[in-house]
């Protein structure tokens, strides 16, 4: 390697920055010119369009059509220049963060690829295959994978990391060993942000392996709190979009997380994605994709946690419906429907019965029995639609005759026909809707019949009658729908599930089944379950399993405390801080005030055992500490520096200072204490 001294590296950085600035200025001019061109083209077209009517014969329309491809090319060109402009602008303050010397060549690594005038690579995007070597734990003879899957040998002579701020080189480190290095320590000690950070310059080898798994590989990643799972999910999105730019657009990627906060984060955390957004939903929101279930009231996951905590007796039915045992029997039940047991709902129109359930049953089991179940149901829908059209015609004719035979003048014939037509459609509106939504299949009944246990079945019947669907009912009902109708979303090619331990097997397979064209990266931690009821471990067939060991979030002291709750769960790669403070306070509000007054704290989360206690605390504290916000279930923006929240909303986030109140509530539930305590990066107060 050209062993550059600090001065030489400073010089190299300066030249790079100068190049980026000049390049950026040039792009800015080009961009402005293209913009002007597009604007004047558009104006010309608008004028053409305005004059088309008057001048149609003169051939203007042809001129207008001829201009379209030109406009399109200019716009594509503009988008390209604009993206480059943004990239160079973004990279000026920090063009690169690392360098490796591969087979004698220096490779600088940053968050985007930059070429010089001769088309040589000045900076390599961190997602390029060769940049993977930067994240290895060693130097020497190594290899990296290229997109076709083959491996390339390379000799890495050195690795250098840079701290660059405002285009200036502050420090550099040479390190063969990557773990526990100074840059990582710097990153960990800087806990000034409450948002997720871009960890690109310090991705660790075990993390790099997850990020760079092949697109089509299903992967299950388990790791303790703070091991970077959420960060990895985001970096993996950036990686996949880069590596598969020809086939993947952001809308082909879906992130399923406990709350929909990531769209607020994504553009900040991953500026290299630019303006693009990936889809982000919750399991609950999946229901919205199935209009069949509209008008049914389903409990939310938080409502479910609250209810089951208050009423432990209701946990048995939750456990049953979320169990593998029930899932297997549901599967067998669905398999038997080809021969018996299908349930239909008769459809009505305004005058009475549109079609009875017995008739539907006959069509399904007699006339169409040679077809597979899904095909039978689709065919029934077709038939019902023809029946609908015929009925509309019948009613329309009758109505027309009726209108036409009236003595007084009520309109021209065609008007009477129109009126008769809309009358007929209106008569059958409800039936039409039911057909379109497949409501002639009685999913509720099927669901009830799939429950073998009589007691559970009766309880389910009672709550369904009251339109009171529980959270644990969502997955089986969706599963039945998806299974019977083969429903799926083809557009999604990769799904990332965060906090995967929160889902039962049946929920997981609903997601797998619905996004059946997609491969999955599922990340979680079996030790971080806060749901009051138990469930079976996830069965993830054909998944590569990765285990992360190290944790980067909390101080060594907090991590030691976490290890006392769940033995040997965390390898701390962190910094020292103060001891975890356990306080016994009669008046905990006063204690909290003291804690909040004591120091200048960048962020504080006060975690309470219930919504009621959060509300009460909020009203007590808000006079003196108006900066606090009382977090609500429906809030999607968690980027608040001072919040009060009930424990079940705290998953996945981190705060400099965490105050746990009312912890007696989870006295024998170390795993809840584990999740809550691991939200703290620096200071943890436990008020018993």
Annotated binding-site residues for ATP read 223-230
Does residue 676 bind ligand ATP (CB under 6 A)? no
The footprint of ligand ATP on residues 536-555 (CB under 6 A) is 552-553
Tokens of 483: 């299974």
Please write down the long-range contacts of 352-358, taking CB distance under 8 Å and 24 or more positions apart: 354/387, 354/388, 354/391, 354/428, 354/431, 355/384, 355/387, 355/440, 357/442
Beta carbon of residue 91, minimum distance to ligand ATP (angstroms, whole number): 20
By CB atoms closer than 10 A (0-12, 13-18, 19+), residue 81 is buried
Residue 98 binding ligand ATP, by CB under 6 A:
no
**Binding to ligand ATP by residue 672, rule CB under 6 A?**
no
The least distance separating ligand ATP from the CB of residue 451, rounded to whole angstroms, comes to: 34
How many angstroms separate the CA atoms of 628 and 685, rounded?
Answer: 17
Judged by beta carbon, residue 489 or residue 669, the one nearer ligand ATP is 669
Q: Which is nearer to ligand ATP, 476 or 652 (CB)?
A: 652
Longest dimension (CA), the chain: 104
Going by C-alpha positions, the residue among 417, 396, 481, 416 that lies closest to residue 444 is 481
Report CA Rg, the chain: 31
Question: Is residue 654 a contact point for ligand ATP (CB under 6 A)?
Answer: yes
258 near ligand ATP, judged by CB under 6 A: no
- Do residues 260 and 281 lie in contact, with contact meaning Cβ atoms separated by under 8 Å? yes
- Minimum CB separation of residue 188 from ligand ATP in Å reads 6
User: Which residues line the annotated binding site?
Assistant: 223-230
Instruction: Quote the least distance from Cβ 227 to ligand ATP, whole Å.
Output: 4
Residue 125 to residue 242: CA distance in whole angstroms: 9
Contact code string over 301-340 relative to ligand ATP, x by CB under 6 A: ----------------------------------------
* Residues between 196 and 235 with contacts to ligand ATP, criterion CB under 6 A: 197, 199, 202-204, 207, 223, 225-231
Binding mask 143-182 toward ligand ATP (x if CB under 6 A, else -) reads ----------------------------------------
Minimum separation from the CB atom of position 232 to ligand ATP (A): 7
Helix (H), strand (E) at residue 663: none
In terms of CB distance, is 208 or 661 closer to ligand ATP?
Answer: 208
Facing residues of 164 across strands? 169
Is 532 a binder of ligand ATP (CB under 6 A)?
A: no
Distance CA 687, CA 664 (A): 9
* Residue with smaller CB distance to ligand ATP, 549 or 590: 549
Selected from 652, 660, 683, 686, the binder of ligand ATP by CB under 6 A is 652
Give the number of residues in contact with ligand ATP, rule: CB under 6 A.
Answer: 23
| Between 558 and 621, CB nearer to ligand ATP | 558
Shortest reach from residue 550's CB to ligand ATP, in Å: 8
* Residues ≥6 apart with Cβ < 8 Å to 25: none
Distance CA 449, CA 333 (A): 9
Nearest to ligand ATP of 200, 314 (CB atom): 200
Beta strands 151-165 and 140-145 are antiparallel
Contact 280, 273 (CB under 8 A): no
Tell me the backbone φ, ψ of residue 207, rounded to 5 degrees: -75, -40
CB 681, min distance to ligand ATP, A: 7
DSSP codes joined into one string, 29-67: HHHHHHHHHHHHHHHHHHHHHHHHHHHGGGTHHHHHHHH
Which C-beta is closer to ligand ATP: that of 260 or that of 654?
Answer: 654
376, 368 contact by CB (below 8 A) = yes
Q: How far is the CB of 204 from ligand ATP (least distance, A)?
A: 5
| Residue choice 45, 92, 187, 540 for contact with ligand ATP (CB under 6 A) | 187
Pick between residue 267 and residue 449 the one whose CB is nearest to ligand ATP: 267
- Minimal distance, residue 653 CB to ligand ATP, in Å: 8
What is the chain's length?
688
SS (H, E, C) 215-254: CCCCEEEECCCCCCHHHHHHHHHHHHHHHCCCCCCHHHEE
| Positions in 472-531 near ligand ATP (CB under 6 A) | 525, 528
Please state the closest distance from residue 134 (CB atom) to ligand ATP, in A: 12
Q: Which residue is nearest to ligand ATP (CB)?
A: 228
CB burial of residue 206 (10 Å; 0-12, 13-18, 19+): buried
If the CB atoms of residues 530 and 686 are measured against ligand ATP, the closer one turns out to be 530
Residues that bind ligand ATP (CB under 6 A): 184, 187, 197, 199, 202-204, 207, 223, 225-231, 525, 528, 552-553, 652, 654, 678
């Amino acid at each position: 390697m050209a062993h550059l001294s600090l001065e030489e590296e400073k010089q190299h950085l300066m030249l790079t920055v100068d190049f980026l600035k000049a390049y950026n200025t040039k792009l800015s001019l080009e961009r402005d010119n293209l913009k002007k061109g597009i604007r004047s083209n558009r104006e010309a077209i608008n004028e053409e369009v305005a004059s088309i009517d008057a001048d149609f014969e003169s051939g203007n329309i042809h001129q207008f059509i001829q201009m379209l491809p030109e406009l399109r090319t200019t716009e594509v060109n503009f988008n390209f220049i604009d993206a480059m402009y943004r990239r160079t602008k973004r990279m000026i303050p920090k063009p690169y963060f690392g360098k490796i010397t591969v087979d004698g060549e220096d490779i600088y690594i940053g968050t985007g690829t930059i070429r010089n005038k001769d088309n040589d690579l000045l900076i390599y995007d961190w997602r390029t295959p060769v940049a993977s070597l930067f994240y290895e734990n060693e130097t020497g003879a190594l290899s990296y994978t290229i997109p076709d899957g083959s491996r390339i040998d390379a000799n890495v002579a050195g690795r250098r990391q840079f701290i660059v701020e405002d285009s200036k080189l502050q420090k550099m480190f040479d390190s063969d060993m990557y773990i526990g290095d100074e840059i990582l320590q710097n990153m960990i000690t800087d806990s000034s942000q409450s948002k997720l950070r871009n960890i690109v310059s310090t991705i660790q080898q075990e993390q790099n392996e997850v990020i760079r798994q092949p697109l089509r590989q299903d992967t299950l990643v388990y790791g303790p709190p703070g091991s970077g799972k959420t960060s990895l999910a985001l970096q993996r999105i950036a990686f996949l979009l880069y590596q598969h730019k020809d086939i993947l657009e952001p809308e082909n990627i879906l992130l399923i997380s406990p709350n929909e906060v990531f769209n607020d984060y994504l553009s900040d955390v991953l500026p290299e994605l630019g303006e693009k957004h990936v889809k982000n939903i919750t399991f609950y929101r999946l229901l919205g994709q199935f209009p069949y279930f509209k008008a049914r009231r389903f409990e939310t996951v938080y409502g479910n946690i609250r209810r089951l905590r208050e009423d432990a007796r209701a946990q048995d039915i939750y456990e049953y419906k979320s169990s593998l045992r029930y899932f297997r029997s549901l599967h067998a039940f669905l398999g038997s429907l080809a021969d018996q047991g299908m349930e239909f709902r008769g459809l009505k129109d305004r005058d009475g019965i549109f079609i009875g359930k017995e008739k539907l049953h006959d069509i399904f089991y007699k006339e169409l029995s040679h077809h597979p179940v899904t095909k039978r149901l689709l065919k029934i829908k077709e038939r019902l639609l023809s029946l609908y059209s015929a009925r509309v015609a019948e009613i329309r004719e009758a109505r027309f005759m009726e209108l036409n035979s009236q003595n007084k003048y009520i309109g021209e014939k065609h008007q009477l026909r129109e009126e008769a037509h809309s009358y007929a459609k209106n008569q059958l509106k409800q039936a039409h809707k039911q057909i379109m939504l497949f409501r002639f299949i009685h999913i509720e009944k099927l669901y009830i019949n799939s429950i073998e246990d009589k007691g559970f079945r009766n309880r389910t019947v009672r709550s369904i009658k009251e339109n009171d669907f529980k959270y644990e009912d969502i997955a089986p009902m969706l599963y039945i729908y998806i299974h019977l109708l083969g429903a799926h979303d083809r557009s999604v090619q990769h799904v990332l599930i965060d906090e995967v331990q929160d889902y039962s097997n049946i929920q997981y397979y609903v997601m797998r089944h619905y996004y059946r064209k997609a491969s999955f990266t599922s990340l979680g931690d079996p030790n971080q379950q806060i749901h009051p009821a138990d469930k079976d471990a996830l069965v993830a067939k054909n998944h590569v399993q990765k285990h992360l060991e190290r944790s980067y979030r909390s101080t060594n002291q907090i991590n030691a405390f976490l290890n006392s709750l769940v033995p040997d769960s965390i390898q701390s790669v962190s910094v020292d801080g103060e001891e975890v403070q356990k306080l016994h306070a009669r008046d905990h509000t006063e204690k909290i005030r003291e804690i909040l007054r004591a120091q200048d704290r960048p962020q504080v989360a006060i975690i309470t055992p219930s919504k009621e206690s959060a509300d009460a605390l909020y009203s007590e504290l808000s006079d003196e500490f108006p900066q606090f916000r009382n977090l609500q279930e429906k809030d999607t923006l968690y980027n608040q520096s001072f919040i009060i929240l009930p424990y079940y909303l705290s998953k996945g986030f981190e705060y400099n200072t965490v105050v746990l109140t009312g912890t007696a509530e989870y006295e024998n539930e170390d795993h809840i204490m584990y999740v809550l305590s691991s939200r703290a990066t620096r200071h943890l107060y436990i008020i018993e």
